[in-house]
Structure 1
Amino acid sequence: MSQKKLKVRCWIELDDSRFFGPGRAELLELISIHGSVSKASKVMGMSYKKAWDMVNDLNNRGPEAFVTLQKGGQKGGSAILTDFGRKFLHRYQKLDEKLKSIIKEGEDIMENL
């Protein structure tokens, strides 16, 4: 019997280049949980530089900042999602849930192949 999979990934593009998708959504969610780009990147197994670059890209190319960063201090820096960042992430997650539901329907159809 052949193995069947249905895959869909949702990316938002700006100016013909990827801007937001599953990886950035996960990064924002982990920043929200941990209050730190460094901690979020460690949980994801991503370099701190790559995570930092992603946050900078979101903040610079988006219509508003997604993350507020505070450098240094006794306990190190911190990061929090802005209201815009939280709302954007929530809307993206709702869209992702809808897509997963559609994928489930497709998998149900594929069972008959």
Structure 2
Amino acid sequence: MPKPTFHLRVLIDEKAALGPGKADLLEGIRDTGSISAAGRRMRMSYRRAWQLIDALNTDFGAPVVDTATGGKGGGGAQLTPLGEEVLSRYRRIEAACAQAIAADVAALRKRLVR
């Protein structure tokens, strides 16, 4: 049976939200060590990637990503412990939701006319 597909956006409060875009960006930074590479992987501009990281930093009151300035030795980025926690918690919430809706999604799929 196919895994339920959904887009989860968690509204943490009136101003702070965490969804698949921010989570995928954090995952990309973790995997590539680069904000620009993570953004490219998502077909997102560096500026937009930075805006999302800045929003997370503001929302959580501390950096979610550590950066090193580029240049001769190269730059880079990595998730802070807070960034790892934010990503991990979002993925756990996402997995719990997928499990919770699996039976209903399967029932709806059976009702599709194809």
Q: TM-score, normalised by structure 2?
A: 0.81
Unaligned 5+ runs, structure 2? none
RMSD over equivalenced CA pairs, Å = 2.1
Supply the distance in 2 between the matched residues of 1:55 and 1:29 (Cα, whole angstroms). 12
The partner residue of 2:49 within 48, 51, 55 is 51
- The whole-number CA distance in structure 2 between the counterparts of 1:15 and 1:84 is 18
- 2:103 is matched with which residue? 105
SS of corresponding position for 1:17: coil
TM-score (norm 1): 0.82
Please give the per-residue CA displacement for 1:12-49, whole angstroms capped at 9, x wherever unaligned.
33552352111000000000000000000000011111
Distance 1:68 1:105 in 2: 40
Alignment of 1:82-101 (within 5 A): 82-101=80-99
Say if 1:8 and 1:103, in contact at 8 Å, map to a contact too.
no
Contact 2:16–2:59 (8 Å) recurs in 1: no
- Give distance in 1, aligned partners of 2:89 and 2:50: 23
Alpha-carbon separation, structure 1, partners of 2:12 and 2:93? 18
Kindly tell me the number of residue pairs found equivalent between the two proteins: 108
Once the two structures are superposed, residues 51-86 of structure 1 have per-residue CA deviations (whole angstroms, 9 ceiling, x without a partner) of 011111111221332111112232432111001110
- 2 CA distance for matches of 1:86 and 1:18? 17
Aligned to 1:17: 15
Q: Which amino acid aligns with 2:51?
A: D
Post-superposition offset of 1:9: 3.1
Letter in 1 for 2:45: S
